[in-house]
Structure 1
Amino acid sequence: MVLVTGGTGLVGAHLLLHLIESGSTDNKKIRATYRELKSIQKTKSLFESYNKAPLFDAIEWIKADIIDVPSLEEAFQEIEYVYHCAAVISFDPKDEALLRKTNIEGTANVVNLCLVNKIKKLCHVSSTAALGDLTGNELIITEETEWNPEKPHSDYAISKYGAEMEIWRGQQEGLNVIIVNPGVIIGPGFLNQGSGQLFEKIRNGLSFYTNGSTGFVAVSDVVKIMTQLMKSTITNQRYTLISQNIIFRDLLNMISDALNTNRPKHHANPFLLSLAWRADWFLSSIFQSKRKITKATAKASYSINEYSNEKVKTALEYHFQEVEEYIKKITPLF
């Protein structure tokens, strides 16, 4: 039996669809975790948007939280393979404790139960945020780039790096593991998070762009690669999953064109962004509201980061989808 933690998130939901549709589980049953019953509807709606509603009934849902060991123990009954997709994504400093507890402690719980239940293989969804820091003579971030604890990192990045340390601990104790480090994941079905929020902001008239850059990848590529790695004999490796390194302005233009709406016209330079995150901090402190822009997200929006995907392309002979073509393909689903 196959277990998918975080089956109601962007990656988890698409992974469930791909596992069922492609038969990648070799006829093994699929179990997925959820924390709140209403959240299952998001995954069901995703299946419906792809006209795959009948496949949804193939999932065995179980209520479990990765930071609640008793519920997780029940989820692990009769499981052979685990895809660990559950995580908290936030760049709000107020969520530091939640990030560490869920992403690090929760992953430690998953690893421990994998060891206890003699799981055959674990695939962990990490992030490019957990990759290393370039030194003065390096230009491209790879799986071998070393993490420098002396450099500033967001709480989210630290939590994902800590989660990876738990995965490697499991590997040292005899667990077969795979780690994937996706860049910014583009995909439909979740308007309140990630790329879904970006599509909504552009549809509603986003005015500002930045000239930073990072790696982007289609969610369909992420789940295909995960399943291929799990079915392969490859173990104890990590892979950066990005299709292309893209300047944020160019990505915003791609989405604007696909939505047939106006492109953002105003450049948000570092100085303007520094004013924006400080103002947002002040207002959120006064009104106790969720942060819209933080120091970490402001810095990321004008930082230039380039990632290599050569390792996974070589290992699987994989060809990534072009981001612009994928955006055109999924826009009707938003």
Structure 2
Amino acid sequence: MVLVTGGTGLVGAHLLLHLLQNNTKVRAIYREDSNLKQVEKVFSYYVKEKASELFDAIDWVLADINNIPALETAFKNVDYVYHAAALISFDPKDYYKLKKVNALGTANIVNLCLSNKVKKLCYVSTIGAIGKSVEGHKATEENDWSGQEANVYALTKHRAEMEVWRGSQEGLNVVIINPGVIIGPGFWQQGSGNLFSIANNAKNYYPPGGTGFITVNDVVKMMTTLMHSEIVNQRFIAVAENITYKEILSILAKALGKKAPSKILRVWQLNLARFFDYLRSLMTGGKRKITKKTIKSLMQPEVYDNQKIKDTLGFQFEDMKETINFCCKIFKEENP
């Protein structure tokens, strides 16, 4: 039996589909406010006729990763665990919520893996938990970590990684992947899905800098290949291409039939936007979207090295533009 956490998210939904298509017996946990129908909808993008049949094959268990009794039920007869559940926020006021879900929740998963003698755990982290590079060098898995310039999300994901490494020291076989921005269909109002909405609105401005990008199916392929291998106690950067925000928004705009952005956002404009974003958050209680650390990361972008996964697995990444075109086709159908 394979257990998946975060099964109602972008990575989790695609992972579940992959496992089910390969006749794997799957259990997934979900919270009361989870949108299970969205998982079935993602399935329909790829296997429309069999989406319901595959979805019904999942053994769903109502459990929060901080609810130990419910998790103990979910872990019964489980051999392998994919831990993709996480809270994503870059708002400093969400730090303690992030720590509870990302760090303490991961500690719970690790502890239950150990007590249930799980054979292997695959943890989905983030490139934000990769240490910064010396200027002019690519970031690798060996970069030294410093939390000084990290945002609150990265801080808690790094702490979660420490829990996973702690598990490895106690005898649990683990692998960690550190994905960049994940491109995939169906979650248009959250995470990387916002990029499609931004490009569709045909804004004339684009932010400076860039980052690493990867398709969701490559993330799933990497996870499952590592899980089925004898590789243990290693981490891998999951980035297919390093792309500027101008380039990615232009590619998306073209696929959506929109005008590509042509004007770069200046530092003063970003700082002005940060000020108004702070006021909006103060008045409405909404999450902050632009912080000092956000702006600093835009002005000092990191370039990520994916050579380790290529050398270790002979991994070949799928064509990013083909996936973007596929996603944009679905986006236009669902947002006419």
In which range does the TM-score fall when normalised by the shorter chain? over 0.9
Given residue 147 of structure 1, which amino acid in structure 2 is its aligned partner?
W
Q: Is the 8 A contact 1:6 1:84 kept in 2?
A: yes
Q: 2:115 & 2:156 partners in 1: Cα distance?
A: 24
Which AA in structure 1 matches 2:3? L
**Offset, 1:28:** 4.0
Once the two structures are TM-superposed, the CA of residue 71 in structure 1 deviates from its matched residue by 1.0
Q: Are residues 1:6 and 2:13 paired?
A: no
SS of match in other structure, 2:218: helix
Residue number in structure 1 paired with 2:334: none
Give the 3-state SS of the residue equivalent to 1:319 in structure 2. Answer: coil
Task: Establish whether residue 70 from structure 1 lines up as the match of residue 69 from structure 2.
Answer: yes
Out of 181, 184, 189, the position equivalent to 1:187 is 184
Aligned residue in 1 for 2:323: 326
Compute the TM-score of the two structures, normalised by the length of structure 2.
0.94
Match of 2:214, as an amino acid?
V
User: Hey, what's the Cα distance between the residues in 1 that align with 2:280 and 2:126?
Assistant: 30
Report the counterpart of residue 193 of structure 2 in structure 1. Answer: 196
Deviations 1:271-296 (A, max 9, x none): 21111112210222123223233333
Matched with 1:133 is 132
Task: Work out the CA distance in 1 between the residues paired with 2:181 and 2:34.
Answer: 26
1:147 matched to 2:145: yes
Which residue number in structure 1 is paired with residue 32 of structure 2? Answer: 36
Does 1:281 pair with 2:249?
A: no
2-structure distance, mates of 1:304, 1:243:
16
Residue segments in structure 2 that go unaligned for 5+ positions in a row: 332-336
More deviation, 58-67/159-168? 58-67
SS in 1 for 2:117: coil
Of the three residues 286, 298, 302, the one matched with 2:299 is 302
Alignment-mate amino acid for residue 226 of structure 1: M
8 A Cα contact 2:200 2:256, kept in partner: yes
CA displacement at 1:257 relative to structure 2 = 0.3
What is the rounded CA distance, in whole Å, between the counterparts of 1:192 and 1:238 in structure 2?
Answer: 29
Q: Quick one: which amino acid aligns to residue 279 of structure 1? A: F
Q: Give the superposition deviation at 1:267.
A: 1.3
Runs of 4+ residues deviating >6 angstroms? none
Q: Structure 2 CA distance, aligned partners of 1:298 and 1:135?
A: 19
Separation in 2, partners of 1:157, 1:103: 10
Alignment of 1:83-232 (within 5 A): 83-135=82-134, 139-149=137-147, 151-232=148-229
Which of 41, 47, 50 pairs up with 1:45? 41
Per-residue CA deviations over 1:301-325 (Å, capped at 9, x if unaligned) read: 3332100101001111111123223
Could you tell me how far apart the structure 2 residues matched to 1:2 and 1:89 are? 24
For 2:24 and 2:323, how far apart are their aligned partners in 1? 30
Bigger shift: residues 237-246 or 90-99: 90-99
After TM superposition, the structure 1 stretch with the greater mean CA deviation from structure 2, 29-38 or 70-79, is 29-38
Instruction: Describe the superposition over 1:88-130 as per-residue Cα deviations: whole angstroms up to 9, x where unpaired.
Output: 1111122111111100000000000000000000000000000
* Alignment-mate amino acid for residue 183 of structure 2: I
Q: CA–CA distance in 2 between the matches of 1:38 and 1:92? A: 22
Contact 1:243 1:322 in 2 (8 A): no
Percent same amino acid at aligned positions? 50
1:328, CA displacement in angstroms?
1.4
**1:179 partner SS:** strand
What is the distance in 2 between the residues matched to 1:236 and 1:79?
20
- Which has the larger displacement, 71-80 or 294-303? 294-303
CA distance in structure 1 between the partners assigned to 2:158 and 2:192 by the alignment: 22
Paired AA for residue 140 in structure 2 = T
In structure 2, what residue type is equivalent to 1:118? Answer: K
Counterpart Cα distance in 2 of 1:296 and 1:35:
31
RMSD (Å), alpha carbons: 1.4
User: 2:266 pairs with 266, 269, 281, which one?
Assistant: 269
CA contact under 8 A between 2:65 and 2:109: conserved in structure 1? yes
Total equivalences in the alignment: 328
Partner of 2:17: 17
Structure 1 range deviating more: 35-44 or 79-88: 35-44
Give the whole-Å Cα distance in 1 for the aligned partners of 2:330 and 2:117: 40
Instruction: Give the stretch that moved more between structures: 93-102 or 292-301.
Output: 292-301
- In structure 1, the gaps of 5 or more residues are none
